[in-house]
Chains A and B, each alone.
Chain A
Amino acid sequence: MIALWLIVIMLVGGIAAWLVAPLHRHASAWVAIAALATDFALALGLAVGPARTAAVTRIGAFFVNVAFPWIPRFGISFHLAMDGLSLVMILLTLFLGLVSVLVSWREITERIGFFHFNLLWTMAGVLGVFLAVDLFLFAFFWEVMLVPMYFIIALWGHEHRIVAAIKFFIFTQVSGLIMMVAIVGLVLAHWRATGTLTFDYFALLGTPLSRSAATWLMLGFLAAFLVKLPAVPFHTWLPDAHTEAPTAGSVILAGVLLKTGAYGLLRFVFPLFPDAAFRFAPIAMALGVVGILYGAVQAFGQTDLKRLVAYTSVSHLGFVLLGVFAWNELALQGAVTQMIAHGLSTGALFALAGLLQERIHTREMPRMGGFWAMAPRMGAMGLFFAIASLGLPGLGNFIGEFLVLLGAYQANAWLAAIAAFGLVASAAYALLLVQRVFHGPRRPELALPDLAPRELAVLGAMLVFLVWIGVYPQSLVDTVRPAILGMQHLVVSPPLLGRRG
């Protein structure tokens, strides 16, 4: 039941935040914080409790499981389940949710109640995506999370927000619809083979499929996940959406929504279509490498601070794609660690960009410079998250990238070797960012107050988590390990129905 409560608290919290808005300027923000903190505490309770004793069974390592019949006509149930992977993604989501509320404290001045409503409903959709183990329910949440996110970009974004929001919505909705078609195709194939009409993930595992059917259906799923991730030819929505969104929107987009794509690859593509996924792996890994390099080069060429950070996301998520399709334990651990670390470091960089824009009303780096002297605390934070982003050892991103490269090397040495160049490129853009924004001559014409205690606390918390993952990654690895072993188990040993039959 706790899985259901996590979602319900977000939905109810969203409505409550909207209703209390007229009472006080920050009333809805406090309600949002309360709802997110409650959820975070619940999830943390799971992390220190049941998650530690999760056993790897034939269907994975799920320790939370709740199901109600929903649309029995099609064998659809409201089925939620949680394993270590879902849990860490949920913890990341809720933490970044809290960050988003806190960084929007002053930025959002209009329609505050509606803003927090949308924020919490996005969170609800994302939690649903990470928890759903009914394919219809998954597609349902996949699209539910888009609508409030669309409103966040379209209503509180910057100059070109409408175009960016519509582009974001169309890219993700259409790819989601293609996934829906693939889901229906898979379910019908399962129905013909077994006579049972069901959308349940566990029932659909090991559906016997012909080689071409498996490939086409997998491509349908990939359409949704590669657009969301984003992999390189499908990334064009991302720089616009990230740049035009308000700070909270950018933090959630980069920190959380992109991870749903990677999560989908891990949870659905490999376990449901193992053979097709392995056949596709070289192409996907190549796309990952292209993304790593292309994102880094593009980031290097940007003058808009948020756009730069957006392109670093393309680069970092390239490592995730590479790691997922290498599909060995090292690479998978690396991919998950990279997802968490990227969520924290990029989230923090977007938050900093937002705080800067709030103060000096521009995102153009040529109009910045010398900020270290004016705002030393901000400068120190900027430097920290920039070098985290470039993968300095001792911080989370290093662990992620290192493990991915190590695992990918076993799967495909050449691609791993090329991907390693991405680390060089990331050093270039990260240092460029610090140099342009914080060094150089002072600009006395700009008034730049340093970080307020609230802002310092938010960024400080993100800093602590990044250092923790960098220094003691074992805590994260242990939580995720049963889930990864469970999924690998599914892919390696064909269950009952005879996959290759």
Chain B
Amino acid sequence: MSPADFTALSPILCVAGTAVGVMLSIAVRRHHGVACGLTVLGLLAALAALRWALPEVPVQVTPLFTVDRYALFYIGLILATTLGVVLFSHGYLAQRTDRPEEYYLLLLLATVGACALVAASQFASFFLGLELLSMALFALIAYPESGRVPVEAALKYLILAGAASAFLLFGMALIYAQLGTLAFAAMRAVAPSAGSPLMDLGLSMVLIGVGFKLAIVPFHMWTPDVYQGAPAPVTAYVATVSKGALFALLLRYFLQTAAGSAIPVVTGLGWIAVASMLAGNWLALLQPDVKRVLAYSSIAHLGYLLVAFLALGALAIEAVTFYLVFYLATMLAAFGIVTVLSGTGADAGKQGLEAYHGLFWRQPWLAASFTVVLLALAGIPLTLGFLAKFYVIVAAADRASWGLIGALVVGSAIGLYYYLRIVVVMYREPVGAQTVVVPPWPARLALIALTVFLVGFGIYPRPVIGLVQAAIGPEQAVWLVPGR
């Protein structure tokens, strides 16, 4: 590895180094503030290192990683989201556990895995990144071991993620058996011209493995229980970073290997998208618990993402990237608010609508922020959500995928109902004695930043669009040459 390679990898190295630093600091002296502060500093340093790495890209670092503008953009997105999760976590953990320090260590390890995923250039690093992410998540889901529910959630996640990994490995093996290479870039050249059943099978198994992690229908069963059982900031992490990183990788893999030419697989993905949009929204409608509503809503949003993904062209990269920026920011804010309002008792995992009753008249800013988030999820103008949905529609209409667009319209119609139900509850007259939860200042800071982001760029989206377009470098143009 040359010095330039190290420079290009510096953001990931920064995060990994911070993980070691946090571990050492715990060994010397346990202190919540120190561990959290070191994590924040490490993440900020990694974000700063992006600027340093930018002139060196695109560069192939060992056969495992490609660091290009696309990878750097997603690393930046992951780091920023993780930073938000850390800010929400501090207050949450301080109230609930005496030993919160290792939490940050695990979070950093998961982030290293996520960053490795978006830079992966072949199956080995793909698997490595995914397992690093998942391993850390098992422990995180059960972290403040204050009852059975988190452990149950972690076990569920562990078993299903294990099964998913098995599918993934088998699929990779089948593809390797056909093509004789693990590297994405080489696969395009050696891919069989005619449809090969074994290739399609391998690809499908990879997609099943990824589908579990993305929680798209019909691989979504674990989501609501894990979302509800896990500590709220960890749920935020599972819903945002873990899914976003995997989706970015999926897009890279699909386009770089010209897997989109496998017609049966693409058709299957189309049905998965439709099922995710319809079933996700429909099941969200039936949930009494806000965490579960958000869990199903995230399933539906992955369906919308798949619609953009299936456009499989230059516009698809742009639309998916824009949508992920919106999705990560919005879901992070949504679970951030859930975190702030979480109870500390035995039923801390549950969060019925009553917790939000009359919230606006007690804590107007918190309610206003949640209103923005919910309207963004529903795709209403003045928020980034409207533009994200617009991007998806443009990408799909460009491919004349009217069926997918139809499902999207029906899905968002159902979605409106449950988002509005929460909104209206917040503005009703307060009943009885209500407790006012004052969010700790780091959480408040993150919420303000996210709300301003969602509204500000919802009104004036040019900077975000510019950044997203900058993420698509010349290397991505190669992806778009039609496969043989």
Residues of A within 8 A of B (CB): 70-74, 110, 136, 140-141, 143-144, 146-147, 150-151, 154-155, 162, 165-166, 169-170, 173-174, 177-178, 180-181, 184-185, 188
Contacts and interface: CB of A to CB of B under 8 A. Distances in A.
> Looking at chain B, what size class is its interface with the partner chain?
20 to 34
Nearest to A110: B429
Nearest to A155: B427
Contact of B409 (A70, A136, A150, A181): A181
A151 B371 CA distance: 12
Contacts of B389: 177
B386 interface: yes
A185 B397 contact: yes
B427 A169 contact: no
B420 interface: yes
8 contacts: A141-B381, A143-B381, A146-B380, A151-B427, A155-B428, A173-B380, A181-B397, A188-B398
A144 B393 contact: no
A170 B424 contact: no
A72 B389 CA distance: 18
B409 A170 contact: no
Interface string B377-400: 001111000110110011001100
A174 B469 CA distance: 30
Contact of A140 (B381, B393, B394, B398): B381
Contacts of B413: 170, 173-174, 177
B462 A72 contact: yes
Contact of A144 (B381, B420, B469): B381
B242 to A, nearest CB: 29
Contact of B420 (A70, A110, A166, A188): A166
A218 to B, nearest CB: 15
Contacts of B375: 147
B393 A166 contact: no
A374 B11 CA distance: 81
Nearest to A180: B393
B409 A169 contact: no
B420 A150 contact: yes
Contacts of B420: 150, 165-166, 169
B393 A181 contact: yes
Given A147-B380, A170-B417, A181-B409, A71 B465 contact: yes
5 nearest A-B pairs in the assembled complex, by CB-CB distance: A174-B413, A184-B397, A140-B381, A143-B381, A73-B465
A162 B423 CA distance: 11
Interface of B: 375, 379-382, 386-387, 389-390, 393-394, 397-398, 405, 409, 412-413, 416-417, 420-421, 424, 427-429, 460-462, 465, 469
A178 B379 CA distance: 13
A173 B416 contact: yes
* Secondary structure dominating the interface of B: helix
B267 to A, nearest CB: 22
A149 B412 CA distance: 19
A498 B416 CA distance: 41
Contacts of B465: 71, 73
A180 B380 contact: no
A177 B380 contact: no
B424 A165 contact: yes
Contacts of A181: 393, 397, 405, 409
B397 A73 contact: no
Given A147-B375, A181-B405, A71 B462 contact: yes
Nearest to A73: B465
Given A140-B381, A155-B427, 11 more contacts: A70-B460, A71-B461, A73-B462, A144-B381, A165-B424, A174-B412, A174-B416, A180-B390, A181-B405, A188-B397, A188-B398
Contacts of B416: 166, 169-170, 173-174
A188 B379 CA distance: 21
Nearest to A140: B381
A282 to B, nearest CB: 27
A47 B380 CA distance: 34
A188 B399 CA distance: 10
A184 B400 CA distance: 11
Nearest to A125: B381
Contact of A166 (B380, B397, B421, B469): B421
A184 B394 contact: yes
Contacts of B394: 74, 184, 188
A143 B397 contact: no
A69 to B, nearest CB: 9
Contacts of A162: 424
A185 B375 CA distance: 25
B229 to A, nearest CB: 30
A151 B368 CA distance: 13
Nearest to B364: A114
Contacts of A146: 380
A154 B381 CA distance: 19
A162 B420 CA distance: 10
Contacts of A178: 409
B397 A140 contact: no
Nearest to A145: B381
A154 B424 contact: yes
B409 A177 contact: yes
Contacts of A180: 390, 393
Contacts of B412: 174, 177
A181 B413 CA distance: 14
B400 to A, nearest CB: 9
B291 to A, nearest CB: 22
Contacts of A72: 462
Nearest to B371: A147
B79 to A, nearest CB: 25
A146 B416 CA distance: 12
A51 B409 CA distance: 40
Given A151-B427, A166-B420, A184-B393, A174 B409 contact: yes
Contacts of B405: 181
Contacts of B398: 188
Contacts of B397: 181, 184-185, 188
B353 to A, nearest CB: 13
Q: Of B405, B428, B429, which is in contact with the most chain A CB atoms at under 10 Å from its CB?
A: B405
B68 to A, nearest CB: 22
A279 B469 CA distance: 42
Nearest to B391: A74
Given A73-B465, A177-B409, A143 B386 contact: yes
A5 B167 CA distance: 60
A178 B397 CA distance: 12
A166 B417 contact: yes
Contacts of A177: 379, 389, 409, 412-413
Contacts of B424: 154-155, 162, 165-166
B380 A143 contact: yes
A140 B386 CA distance: 9
Nearest to A69: B462
A339 B398 CA distance: 38
A150 B371 CA distance: 13
A155 to B, nearest CB: 6
B316 to A, nearest CB: 15
A231 to B, nearest CB: 19
Nearest to A223: B409
Contacts of A70: 460, 462
A318 B459 CA distance: 36
A454 B405 CA distance: 51
Nearest to A167: B417
Nearest to A146: B380
Contacts of B381: 140-141, 143-144
Q: Of B379, B382, B390, which is in contact with the most chain A CB atoms at under 10 Å from its CB?
A: B390
A188 B393 CA distance: 11
A136 B381 CA distance: 11
Contacts of A136: 390
Nearest to A216: B402
A141 B382 CA distance: 9
A141 B427 CA distance: 23
Nearest to B427: A155
Contacts of B409: 174, 177-178, 181
